[in-house]
């Protein structure tokens, strides 16, 4: 599986009461569903949760003390920040809210990168320059621990459980009518979006972690 995978084959099999390796075809299908669930969780939340180093280019529409990154959260450490190739001294900034991707400029504001029309009307979509931020972000996942790239898991358990729930439903609902919009069984409920099975636990967890857009 990819480094981004938010759960493991063994964890899903344990949830379903299966033994890993007892059915190779089923294990291959579970691996595929883990990748699907991880990709969907990433796209819907806007965050890549697994721990990795990111080079992110960020525009700054106004002169503010807060620079915001969002590709891998939380921020664990910042390696460098450049503007137009010029390195900004690390003593000039600090991580303010790691979980929200906020990096604060100490004592002054970040320069705006927005292109202006004769200094009168800003066009935020036409950035002349972008800040290049290199940082380590995300959580150590169970998959990364299994692969030996990380020693201790830090991924929140509810994120992994949401992915496990999605994979479990994909396995159990393969023959369900995709025109059905929702259904409930006991304490479980599931919603269908354009034929995609979507456990409510999956959606609810995404809502908790999705970073709100912040006007700076």
Query: What single string gives the DSSP state of each residue in 26-87?
Result: HHHHHHHHHHHHHHHHHHHHT---B-EEEEEEE--SS-BSEEE--SSSSEEEEEEEEETTEE
Per-residue model confidence as pLDDT tens digits over 35-82:
999 999 999 999 999 999 999 999 887 778 889 998 999 999 999 999
pLDDT at 112: 87
Looking at every residue in the chain, the average pLDDT score rounds to: 85
| Between 26 and 120, the higher pLDDT residue | 26
Q: 30 vs 127, which has greater pLDDT?
A: 30
pLDDT confidence band for 127 (50 / 70 / 90)? very low
| Minimum mean pLDDT range among 7-16, 118-127, 187-196, 203-212 | 118-127
pLDDT higher for 62 or 203? 203
Q: Where are the domains of the chain?
A: 9-46+154-209, 52-137
Q: What is the pLDDT of residues 164-194, one digit of tens each?
A: 999 998 888 775 655 555 555 445 555 655 5
Whether 92 shows a pLDDT value over 70: the answer reads yes
Q: Is 41 exposed, middle or buried (0-12, 13-18, 19+ CB in 10 A)?
A: buried
Which range is most confident: 1-15, 17-31, 177-191?
1-15
Backbone angles phi, psi at 37, to 5 degrees: -65, -40
Alpha helices in the chain (DSSP H): 9-16, 24-45, 142-147, 157-172, 200-209
Q: Per mean pLDDT, which range of 19-33, 84-98, 193-207 is the poorest?
A: 193-207
Q: Are 104 and 150 in contact (CB under 8 A)?
A: no
Omega within 30 of 0 (cis) for the link into 74: yes
């Amino acid at each position: 599986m990819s480094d981004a995978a938010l759960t493991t084959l063994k964890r899903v099999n344990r949830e379903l009461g299966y033994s890993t390796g007892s059915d190779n075809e089923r294990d291959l299908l579970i691996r595929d569903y883990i990748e699907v669930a991880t990709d969907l969780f990433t796209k819907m939340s806007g965050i890549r949760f697994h721990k990795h180093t990111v080079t992110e280019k960020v525009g700054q529409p106004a002169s503010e003390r807060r620079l915001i990154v969002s590709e891998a959260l939380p921020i664990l450490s910042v390696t460098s920040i450049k503007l137009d190739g010029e390195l900004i001294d690390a003593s000039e900034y600090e991580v303010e809210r790691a979980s929200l991707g906020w990096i604060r400029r100490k004592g002054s504001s970040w320069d705006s990168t927005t292109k202006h029309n004769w200094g009168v009307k800003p066009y935020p979509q036409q950035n002349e320059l972008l800040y290049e931020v290199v940082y380590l972000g995300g959580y150590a996942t169970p998959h990364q621990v299994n692969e030996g790239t990380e020693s201790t898991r830090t991924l929140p358990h509810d994120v992994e459980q949401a992915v496990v729930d999605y994979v479990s439903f994909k396995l159990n609902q393969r023959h369900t009518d995709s025109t059905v919009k929702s259904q409930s069984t006991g304490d479980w409920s599931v919603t269908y979006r354009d034929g995609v099975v979507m456990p409510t636990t999956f959606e609810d967890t995404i809502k908790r972690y999705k970073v709100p857009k912040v006007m700076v």
